[in-house]
Amino acid sequence: MADKARVGIIGTGWWATTAHFPSVQAHPKAELVAVADVRPDILGKAAAKYGVANTYTDYTQMLDKEELDGVVIAVWHAEHFAVARSCLERGLHVMLEKPMVLRAAHARELVELAQQKKRQLIIGYPWHFTPHTLRAREVIQSGELGKVLFVNSIFASAVLQFLRGDDKSYGTLFDYPVVGPGDVYADIEKSGGGQGHLQVTHSAALALFITGLRPLSTTAMMENLDVHTDVVDAMAVRLNNGALATVGSIGTVRPGDGDVLTTQIICEDGQVALDSIGGTGSIRHKDQSLETFEPLAKEGIYPKQVTAANLIDVINGDAANGSPAEVGWRVVELLDSAYRSVADGGRPVTVEELYG
């Protein structure tokens, strides 16, 4: 391999230009070789802003013509599977934005393909990299606190206008270096769903990443309010060790009121509480001592550039995959079963059914 990892970016929309372009270009051991997007106007604006010469409106042409070591994929949710599969088939390391895909069978196929090709598939979950998350994971998975009995996950966020297809009403709350998300989150054909695929994917991933557990069945209710996609989600999940989990989320927080992302894990011999928006948390140990986490600095609470940087470090052999696809796969199982439960009147849907 060359002295620098040769990276391409597929998708030049809001999140790619906010997080991934700056991350790749700031990394001392990476070169942003080429970018692709089906929208020529957005592609041109992104390439001009970040000084990228090689651009493609067909990502397969980029994959065929450019010598790449890895790619960042930040396209519409519904396109994740096809694009990631094409990249893995060509032997590239991949950083794939969340949600990994929309169907459990597709997630499993990508995990198996990455293993077959001996390539790393990283899923875009920045909260997996914070020291508080990693400390909670270390303690839970060490077995020190005993069996996980119950998990409670709550994510309340200011995304309602996005789900309405309006990316202008939030003013300066969100940074749009090139373009906003437009109406993509309101378009079910592109996004697959609303609050579940936009936000629950984060909170569920945190719970499964920390505990190392996976869902067996999900019973869900969702409310769309006045939009076409789900805005309020409530899920009851049975996990593979017998534990139960409640996963709740709502997208109606008013700008300035403050988002909420909390994860509580109750075990036989202690418990973990994380406030991922506040950057704090605690662990009640078996001996009843309380370990409290120092508040993270603002820039460390949601390290949005870390996943693309992890791709580069993986390519260069400088780090392991910090957000493995196996966790992303289990999150897709949870969400796939949740949406199917809602479609079937709230019936419990087993993960096994997803592969029938």
Q: What is the DSSP string of 268-303?
A: TTEEEEEETTTTEEEEE-TTS-EEEEPPPPHHHHS-
Same domain for 135 and 122?
no
Specify whether 347 is located in the same domain as 198.
yes
The answer on 170 and 293 residing in a single domain is yes
In this structure, are 120 and 156 located in the same domain?
no
Q: Which residues contact 69 (CB under 8 A, 6 or more apart)?
A: 1, 5, 6, 7, 92, 93, 315
Q: Are residues 172 and 206 in the same domain?
A: yes
User: pTM for this one?
Assistant: 0.98
171-186 confidence digits (pLDDT tens)? 888 989 999 999 999 9
Quote the pLDDT of residue 171: 83
Report the sign of the C-alpha dihedral through residues 181, 185, 188, 191, in that order. Answer: positive
Tens digits of residue pLDDT in 20-74: 999 999 999 999 999 999 999 999 999 999 999 999 999 999 999 999 999 999 9
Specify whether 202 is located in the same domain as 107: no
Contact 78, 101 (CB under 8 A): no
Same domain, 162 and 293: yes
On whether both 136 and 218 belong to a single domain, the answer is yes
138 and 287 part of one domain: yes
Compute the distance between CA of residue 278 and CA of residue 157 in angstroms, rounded to an integer.
13
325: left (phi over 0), alpha (psi -120 to 50) or beta: alpha
Q: 87 and 162: one domain?
A: no
Q: CATH code at 91?
A: 3.40.50.720
Alpha-carbon 87 to chain mean position: 18
Expressed as residue numbers, the domain containing 112 is 5-127+307-324
Residues of the chain falling short of pLDDT 50: 1
The secondary element (H helix, E strand) that includes residue 30 is strand 30-36
Residue 148 bridge partners (DSSP): 267
On whether both 346 and 214 belong to a single domain, the answer is yes
Return the pLDDT at 241: 98
> What's the total number of domains in the chain?
2
pLDDT of residue 2: 61
Q: Are residues 50 and 170 in the same domain?
A: no
Distance CA 292, CA 295 (A): 9
Q: Give the CATH number, domain containing residue 346.
A: 3.30.360.10
Which pLDDT belongs to residue 309? 98
